[in-house]
A and B are shown apart, each in its own frame.
Chain A
Amino acid sequence: MLHISRLRATVILLITLFICLSAAPNFLPETTFEKLPRWTQRHIVLGLDLQGGSHILLEVDSPAVRKEMLQDLLDSARQVLREARIGYTGLAVRSSNVEVRLRNPADVEQVLPKLEQLSQSIGGIARLRGGGVIGVQSSLEITNMGEGLIRLAPTDLAILERIRQAVDQSLQIIERRINELGTVEPLIQRQGVDRILVQVPGLQDPARLKELLGKTAKLDFRLVDVSITGQQALQGAVPLDSEILYGSKQREPYVIKKAVAVSGGDLTDAQPGFDQRTNEPVVNFRFNSTGARRFAQITQENVNRPFAIVLDNQVISAPVIREPILGGSGQISGSFTVQEANDLAILLRAGALPAPLTIIEERTVGPGLGQDSIEKGKIASYVGSVAVVVFMFLTYGLFGLFANVAVMINVAMIFGVLSLLNATLTLPGIAGIVLTVGIAVDSNVLIYERIREEVRAGRTAINAIDAGFSRALATIMDSNITTFIAAAVLFYIGTGPVRGFAVTLGIGIITTVFTAFTLTRMIVAYWVRWKRPQRVPI
Chain B
Amino acid sequence: MRLLRIVPDDTKFDFMRFRRVSFPISAVMSIIAIALYFFVGLNFGIDFKGGTLIEVRTSAGAADLAQMRAAIARLELGEFQLQQFGSPQDVLIRVSQQSGGERAQQEAVAKVRGALDQLYGNNIEYRRVEVVGPRVSGELLSFGIIGLILAIGSIFVYLWFRFEWQFALGAMVANVHDLVLTIGFMSLAQIDFDLTSIAALLTILGYSLNDTVVIYDRIREMLRRYKRIPMADLLNASVNSTLSRSVITHVTVTLALLALLLFGGQAIHSFTATMMFGVVLVGTYTSIFIAAPVLIYLGVGLGRETGQEGET
Specify whether A and B are partners. yes
Could you mark each residue 95-136 of chain B with 1 if its beta carbon is under 8 Å from any beta carbon of chain A, else 0?
000000011011001100100000000000111111111011
Interface centre among A471, A482, A489, A495 (most CB of B within 10 A): A482
CB distance from B297 to the nearest CB of A (A): 22
Question: Do B253 and A360 have beta carbons less than 8 Å apart?
Answer: no
Most buried by A among B131, B211, B244, B258: B131
Stretch at the interface among B3-11, B21-29, B303-311: B3-11
Q: For A373, what are the chain B residues with a Cβ–Cβ distance below 8 Å?
A: 265, 267
Contact of B169 with A by CB under 8 A: no
Question: Which residues of chain B are near A379, meaning CB under 8 Å?
Answer: 263
Which listed residue, A363, A442, A497, touches B252 by the CB 8 Å rule? A442
**Segment of B12-20, B65-73, B183-191, B196-204 in the binding face:** B196-204
Nearest chain A CB to B91's CB is how many angstroms away? 13
Which residues of B (240-262) have their CB < 8 Å from a CB of A? 241-242, 244-245, 248-249, 251-260, 262
In contact, B199 and A501 (Cβ under 8 angstroms): yes
Kindly state whether residue B151 has any CB partner on chain A within 8 Å. yes
A431 contacts chain B at the CB level, 8 A cutoff = yes
- With a cutoff of 8 Å between Cβ atoms, the chain B residues found around residue A391 in the complex are 4, 251-252, 255
| A493 adjacent to chain B (CB < 8 Å) | yes
Q: How many whole Å from B69's CB to the nearest CB in chain A? A: 22
Q: How far is the CA of A481 from the CA of B209 in the complex (A)?
A: 10
> Among A206, A484, A487, A498, which residue has the most Cβ atoms of chain B within 10 A?
A498
Complex partner residue of B196 from A214, A428, A439, CB under 8 angstroms: A428
Task: Enumerate B258-280 residues with CB–CB distance to A below 8 Å.
Answer: 258-260, 262-265, 267-268, 271-272, 275
Task: Render A437-473 as a binary contact track against B, CB cut-off 8 A, 1 for contact.
Answer: 1110110011001001100100000000000000100
Q: Which residues of A contact B139 (CB under 8 A)?
A: 129
Smallest Cβ distance from B301 to chain A, in angstroms? Answer: 19
With contacts A362-B106, A456-B10, A475-B217 taken as known, whether A497 is within 8 angstroms of B205 at the C-beta atoms is no
B146 interface hit (Cβ, 8 Å):
yes
Cβ 8 A contact of B202, one of A394, A435, A489? A489
**B210 contacts A by Cβ under 8 Å:** yes
A475 — which chain B residues lie within 8 A by C-beta?
213-214, 217-218
CA distance A59 to B259 in the complex (A): 41
Q: Does B128 contact A364, Cβ atoms closer than 8 Å? A: yes
Closest Cβ neighbor of B245 among chain A residues: A449
Is B150 in the interface zone, CB < 8 Å from A? yes
Chain A residues, Cβ within 8 Å of B257: 435, 438
> Are A359 and B210 in touch, CB under 8 angstroms?
no
**A392 lies within 8 A of chain B by Cβ:** yes
Which residue of A373, A379, A380 has the most chain B CB atoms within 10 A of its CB atom? Answer: A380
Contact with A486, one of B162, B202, B248, B267 (Cβ below 8 angstroms): B202
A59–B133 Cα distance when bound, in Å, is 11
Known: A427-B267, A479-B217, A483-B210. Contact between A453 and B259, CB under 8 A? no
Contact check, A505 vs B147: say whether CB atoms are below 8 A apart.
no
**Is B206's CB under 8 angstroms from A482's CB?**
yes
In the complex, B44 has a CB within 8 A of chain A: no
Q: A495–B155 contact, CB under 8 A?
A: no
Asked if B60 is an interface residue, CB under 8 A from chain A, the answer is no
Is the CB–CB distance between B252 and A489 below 8 Å? no
Q: In the complex, A361→B267 CA distance in Å? A: 19
- Name the contact of B130 in the complex, choosing from A362, A383, A388, A490 (C-beta under 8 A): A362
A490 touches B102 (CB 8 A): no
A315 vs chain B, min Cβ distance (A) = 22
Given the interface pairs A380-B264, A396-B3, the reply to whether A486 lies near B206 with Cβ below 8 Å is: yes
* A478 lies within 8 A of chain B by Cβ: yes
Bin chain A's interface residue count.
35 or more
- Asked if B130 and A368 make an inter-chain contact with CB atoms under 8 angstroms apart, the answer reads no
B126 contacts A361, CB within 8 Å? no
In the complex, the number of residue pairs spanning A and B with C-beta atoms less than 8 Å apart equals: 239
Inter-chain contacts of B259 with A (CB < 8 A): 380-381, 383-384, 387, 434
Bound form: Cα–Cα A11–B66 in Å: 65
Q: Check if B32 is an interface residue, CB within 8 A of chain A.
A: no
* A480 proximal to B (CB < 8 A): yes
How far, in angstroms, from A314 to B132 measured CA to CA in the complex?
28
What's the dominant secondary structure at chain A's contact region?
helix
- CB contact under 8 A between A395 and B4, given known A428-B199, A435-B203, A498-B198: yes
The distance from the CB of A484 to the nearest CB of chain B, in whole angstroms, is 8
**What separation, in Å, do the CA atoms of A428 and B135 have in the docked complex?**
25
A373–B128 CA distance with the chains assembled, in angstroms: 12
Contact B106 A210 (CB under 8 A): yes
Residue of B nearest to A456 (CB): B9
Q: Which chain A residue shows the least CB distance to B59?
A: A368
Tell whether, in the assembled complex, residue B202 and residue A490 are in contact, meaning their CB atoms are under 8 Å apart: yes
Contact string, A386-421, partner B, CB cutoff 8 A, digits 1/0?
A: 011001101111000000000000000000000000
Contacting A360 at CB < 8 Å: which of B133, B147, B159?
Answer: B133
Q: Which residue of A lies closest to B272 (CB)?
A: A431
Docked CA distance A483–B162 (Å): 15
Q: Does A377 lie at the interface of the complex (its beta carbon under 8 Å from any beta carbon of B)?
A: yes
* From A360, A362, A434, A486, contact of B203 by CB (8 A): A486
Q: Is the CB of B217 within 8 A of A505?
A: no
A522 within 8 Å of B by Cβ?
Answer: no
Closest-by-CB residue of A relative to B109 is A362
A4 at interface by CB-CB < 8 Å: no
Interfacial chain A residues near B256, Cβ < 8 Å: 384, 387-388, 434-435, 437-439
Q: Which of A363, A366, A396, A485 contacts B125 (CB 8 A)?
A: A366
Contact indicator B198/A362 (Cβ below 8 Å): no
* Interface membership of B312, Cβ < 8 A: no
Contact B272 A384 (CB under 8 A): no
List chain A residues, Cβ under 8 A from B143.
493
**Is A28 close to B, CB under 8 A?**
no
Q: Check if A369 sits within 8 Å of B206, measured CB to CB.
A: no
Asked whether A427 lies within 8 Å of B131 as measured between CB atoms, the reply is: no
Tell me, yes or no, whether A13 is within 8 Å of chain B by CB. no
The residue of chain B having its C-beta at the shortest distance from the C-beta of A432 within the complex is B203
Q: Is the CB of A494 within 8 A of B199?
A: yes
Cα separation A129 to B143 with both chains bound (whole Å): 13
- B120 to nearest A CB, angstroms? 15
Question: Are B10 and A365 neighbours in the complex by a CB distance under 8 Å?
Answer: no
With both beta carbons as reference points, the residue of chain A lying nearest to B106 in the complex is identified as: A359
Bound CA–CA A439/B136 (angstroms) = 34
Given contacts A363-B128, A384-B256, 14 further A-B contacts (CB under 8 A): A359-B103, A359-B106, A363-B130, A446-B245, A449-B248, A483-B206, A484-B206, A485-B206, A489-B154, A489-B202, A490-B198, A501-B196, A505-B203, A538-B3
Report, nearest first, the 5 A-B pairs whose CB atoms are least far apart: A438-B256, A384-B259, A486-B206, A483-B206, A376-B265
Contacts A/B (CB < 8 Å), 5 sampled: A358-B133, A361-B131, A439-B207, A490-B147, A498-B196
